Amino acid sequence: MSRSSDLAALAALLADDTRARFCLALLDGRAWTASELAAHATVAASTASEHLGRLIGGGLLVERRQGRHRYVQLAGPREAELIEGLVAHLEPRGQRPATLRTSRAAEALARGRTCYDHLAGRLGVALTDALTDRGLLDRTAGFALTTAGVEWLTGPLAVAPEDLRGRRPLAKECLDWTERRSHLAGLAGARLCERLLARGWVKRIGTQRAVTVTPEGTDALRLLLDLDPASLS
């Protein structure tokens, strides 16, 4: 099996609209059941079953059985990153999609959402910009958290230092497809999202990926990051 056929096989996993829909839905970082995905993509249960078999066999998804329910989710951050990279590539640089403004659901996603395990959309970008402005994130020569940035996470955000160590990079740039700018991914991005949700400063809207800043969160972020609430609307 050669590299080109491996590449073609990997691409083929996503080269079907139904499977692409599944993977985009699973970018919310949660586990979905087979029938939820079937309903979401409006296909028969048998079709969903076969597609999931291919995605799991190909390594993009993992599954867990709970009685008659089969829960599937993205296999990990690497897989999420792969899909996000493809999605980011779809949009020309430097321009927001005009068509995305036409629906309320899309507007909510643009305002704030989870992107696998970190925050994205206007919220994600605003947070990333604020971190940059306050010297907690250095983007002049690459994309890296500063010493002060690490301290900010372990200090006011109470992230455990060991939670910032692992095989994943601490800071990773993730191009935001609604905002056309970068938001913070990597360990730091994941922990930030986790803490903001845990503190109730950010909460989920509905069952999809959309999130919003709570009033307490607006105050806290203004205090901690000089984050202007107007930058979130």
Task: Give the residues lining the site for DNA (CB under 7 A).
Answer: 12, 16-19, 33-36, 38, 43-54, 66-70
200 near 132, Cβ under 8 Å? no
Distance CA 193, CA 190 (A): 5
Q: Shortest approach of DNA to residue 67 CB, angstroms? A: 2
Judged by beta carbon, residue 143 or residue 201, the one nearer a second copy is 143
26: contact with a second copy by CB under 8 A: no
- Interaction residues for a second copy, span 34-93 (CB under 8 A): 78-79, 81-83, 85-87, 89-90, 93
Q: Shortest approach of DNA to residue 60 CB, angstroms? A: 13
Which of a second copy, DNA, none does 233 bind, CB closer than 5 to 8 A by kind? none
Which of 195, 188, 25 is CA-nearest to residue 105? 25
The residue assigned the tokens 């079709």 is 47
DSSP annotation string for 163-217: GG-SSS-SSEEEE-TTTSSEEEEHHHHHHHHHHHHHTTSEEE-TTSSBEEE-HHH
Which of DNA, a second copy, none does 103 bind, CB closer than 5 to 8 A by kind? none
Q: Shortest approach of DNA to residue 74 CB, angstroms? A: 17
170: contact with a second copy by CB under 8 A: yes
- Cα separations in angstroms, 70 against 11, 207, 231: 25, 19, 40
165: contact with a second copy by CB under 8 A: no
- Cα separations in angstroms, 95 against 25, 92, 108, 148, 195: 24, 7, 18, 32, 31
Q: Shortest approach of DNA to residue 3 CB, angstroms? A: 16
Judged by beta carbon, residue 20 or residue 106, the one nearer DNA is 20
Which of 77, 157, 62 is CA-nearest to residue 118? 77
Footprint of a second copy on this chain (CB under 8 A)?
3-17, 19-21, 23-24, 78-79, 81-83, 85-87, 89-90, 93, 138-147, 149-150, 167, 169-173, 186
